[in-house]
Amino acid sequence: MGLVGYGTAGAVFHAPLIEAADGLALAAVVTRDPRRQAEVRARYGAAAVGDVAELWGLCDLVVVASPNRTHVAVAGEALAQGKAVVVDKPFARTVEEARGVVELARERGLMLTVFQNRRWDGDFLTVRRLLDEGALGRVLRLESRFERWRPAPKGGWREAGGAEEVGGLLYDLGSHLVDQAVRLLGPVREVYCESDVRREGVAADDDTFIALKHAGGARSHLWVSAMTARLGPRFRVLGSAGAYVKHGLDVQEERLRAGLSPLAAGFGDEGEERWGVAGTDADARPVPTESGAYLDFYRDVATALWTGAPPPVSADSALEALAVIEAAKLSATQGIVVRTG
């Protein structure tokens, strides 16, 4: 495995998960920062190189965790070199750009997948189980949030860069929320979006709301914001027979940031005090949260490489979610409802 980029995505998520997955080994990391190069060598025993071109003789698969604006170019170059590819989200700025990468992978017969790790969040897995069991009846509305209180910008290209950087929360955390909504409730037929820049010194959206109407009639309301002084529930799913309400984020990211191995006992488990509640106000019950399983993504990557099984996230599903993101951007810009089918 060759990893391009050793910022938060590469260092916190990809490298530890690759190291923990059977059948995969981190061979080289592209980073020009001397401190990060030293960390790569010391922690993983991997080569630290300064340019993507130095990867080709060192790996079989390339993980693209570099800045968003580079995803398409680096993924395309890796495929042209005969390498399988994992691309971090957002896959691309537009469906057209992403489709070019997908077509190249198919022409070359190479595995291509997108790191939608939030499909393995414990809370998302719990919602999916409740829906599969019919525990809430017919789903009427899904509310889903990634909210933070960060009135002072952190800086960096995600906030300060313009459209050419593919920054902002719509493309960042919004990619996860849209992907989860489509996985739970199916194809989207209408998209409405409100997207704003609330903080001084920020060029990309930091407060965005997306409303989706799904083909089956259910609606999704999705929030991504850095300006939420009082956080809403992570999930509120309203059904014809009951609701599910869950507060707080999946525990895996905080444990990865703390340096805990994904192989540690109970890595994805959540304490009872963080469980969500299902039912009605008159009859509610706590619901144990499914164990989160980010490592399953790279286990499935290994299986796909070794056996030819489908990758953990199909290219078509990534294109479907990206089309919704693109429609949301158009909606926010023009103040219209965008019909997608």
Tens-digit pLDDT profile for residues 231-267 = 999 999 999 999 999 999 999 999 999 999 999 999 9
Which tokens belong to 265? Answer: 């006992």
Say if residues 77 and 52 touch (Cβ distance below 8 Å). yes
Supply the pLDDT for residue 165. Answer: 87
Say if residues 232 and 145 touch (Cβ distance below 8 Å). yes
Strands, DSSP E only, in the chain?
2-4, 28-30, 47-49, 61-64, 84-88, 112-115, 139-147, 188-196, 207-214, 219-225, 235-239, 243-246, 276-280, 283-287, 338-339
Q: Shortest CA distance to 244 belongs to which of 279, 291, 288, 274? A: 279
Say if residues 86 and 64 touch (Cβ distance below 8 Å). yes
Mean pLDDT for the stretch of residues 306-310: 95
pLDDT exceeds 90 at position 155: no
DSSP reduced 3-state for 297: helix
Which tokens belong to 174? Answer: 């919004």
Strand duo 84-88 + 112-115: pairing: parallel
Mean pLDDT for the stretch of residues 191-219: 96
For domain 2-115, the question of CATH label 3.40.50.720 is answered with yes
Supply the pLDDT for residue 3. Answer: 98
Considering the entire predicted model, what is its pTM?
A: 0.96
Supply the pLDDT for residue 163. Answer: 72
When the pLDDT of each residue in the chain is averaged and rounded to a whole number, the result is: 96
Supply the pLDDT for residue 204. Answer: 93
Per-domain residue ranges of the chain: 2-115, 118-297+322-339
Tens-digit pLDDT profile for residues 49-95 = 999 999 999 999 999 999 999 999 999 999 999 999 999 999 999 99
pLDDT exceeds 80 at position 20: yes
Q: Which residue has the tokens 């989860």?
A: 180
Class of domain 118-297+322-339: alpha beta
Fold: same for 2-115 and 118-297+322-339: no
Angle between helices 173-185 and 315-334 (to 10 degrees): 110
Supply the pLDDT for residue 269. Answer: 98
Cα 24 from Cα 34, distance rounded (Å): 25
